[in-house]
């Protein structure tokens, strides 16, 4: 019988084995911390060796175990090799989190073909490669969970991020197809997508930018730990999709209702909303090579970022809220009937 949505996935009596791509900064690093607190054994995939080692140490300090595997997710053979290395170290993979990303902040006409290709290779083909490696192992076992870290921008493109938005739209289409195929197989392997709002990650300091001013996430901004909570929850429940934060809900629902209005609004405000009043200056970026140093999990916007989401809290408890509402309706109906 098919598993009900929101039903807990039963895990074997051993530490959970998790793979996280883009695991050494921002959302990926926060996800690694969250799984570590559960005692998970984690394969950390990213390009930068220095940050891999730093994240590995943090995972083990928090109660998990980890191996860092230098991996460019755009290379399918490297991803497959990393998956094999994780299973040799820790055993069968239970959960795979596709999180790696990069972007170029610029108008479409100013993005060079190789830049556009690189963003697509990391954000879209990287997710394809990770999902393929995970399914290759999970389908024969008929168990496992794959989390695609998405964005409200998978539904609603914004100016100055056409390459990233296009890739996330592609991931959304791939996700729909795989869901249907798993249903056809009557498979117990679970794939889910977590649609994020603006998050305070280091990407705004190292993504390639051709803007005159420094870039910023479109407010309101959430801390990476909010996203991590959603990702870990999604890995263990049968929710098809999980929206994080009211801004994500508004963007997705609003675009479905009135996309032409969204075009005009974003055309008028979308540029300035993504830029600070500070000149950009020259700086390295991580598009083709890892960014030097280790900026950690958070970006430069701690003072403006929310550490919780009321919308997410409600969404995670929606089953109990619905049952409570039905129970209250039944009580009120009984009271009304008694008065009559």
Residues taking part in catalysis: 164
What separation in angstroms does the CA of 196 have from each of 21, 63, 188, 309, 337?
A: 16, 27, 25, 11, 45
What separation in angstroms does the CA of 330 have from each of 134, 175, 204, 338?
A: 45, 38, 50, 12
CA dihedral 119, 122, 127, 128 (to 10 degrees): 90
CA distance 184 to 287: 38
Collect all residues with Cβ–Cβ distance below 8 Å to 99 and sequence separation of at least 6. Answer: 20, 21, 22, 23, 27, 28, 31, 149, 231
First to last CA, the chain: 44
Q: Do 119 and 167 touch, CB atoms closer than 8 A?
A: yes
């Amino acid at each position: 019988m098919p598993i009900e949505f929101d039903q807990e996935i039963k895990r074997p009596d051993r530490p959970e084995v998790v793979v996280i791509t883009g695991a050494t900064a921002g959302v990926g690093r926060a996800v690694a911390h969250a799984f570590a607190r559960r005692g998970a054994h984690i394969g950390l995939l990213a390009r930068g060796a220095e940050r891999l080692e730093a994240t590995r140490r943090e995972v083990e300090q928090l109660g998990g175990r980890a191996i860092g595997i230098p991996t460019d997710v755009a290379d399918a053979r490297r991803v497959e090799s990393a998956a094999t290395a994780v299973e040799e170290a820790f055993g069968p993979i239970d959960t795979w989190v596709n999180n790696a990303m990069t972007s170029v902040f610029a108008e479409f006409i100013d993005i060079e073909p190789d830049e556009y290709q690189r963003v697509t290779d990391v954000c879209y083909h990287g997710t394809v490669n990770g999902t393929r490696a995970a399914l290759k192992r999970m389908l024969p076992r008929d168990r496992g969970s794959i989390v695609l870290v998405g964005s409200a921008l998978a539904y609603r493109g914004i100016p100055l991020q056409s390459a990233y938005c296009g890739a996330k739209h592609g991931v959304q289409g791939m996700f729909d197809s795989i869901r249907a195929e798993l249903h056809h197989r009557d498979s117990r392997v679970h794939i889910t997508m977590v649609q994020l709002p603006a998050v305070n990650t280091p990407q705004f300091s190292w993504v390639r930018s051709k803007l005159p001013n420094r870039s910023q996430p479109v407010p309101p901004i959430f801390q990476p730990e909010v996203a991590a909570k959603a990702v870990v929850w999604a890995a263990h429940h049968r929710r098809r999709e999980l929206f994080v934060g009211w801004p994500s809900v508004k963007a997705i629902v609003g675009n479905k209702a009135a996309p032409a209005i969204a075009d005009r609004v974003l055309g008028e405000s979308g540029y300035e909303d993504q830029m600070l009043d500070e000149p950009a200056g020259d700086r390295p970026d991580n598009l083709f090579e890892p960014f030097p140093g280790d900026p950690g999990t958070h970006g430069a916007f701690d003072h403006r970022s929310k550490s919780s989401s009321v919308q997410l809290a409600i969404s995670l408890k929606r089953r109990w809220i619905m049952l409570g509402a039905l129970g209250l309706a039944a009580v009120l109906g009984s009271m009304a009937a008694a008065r009559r």
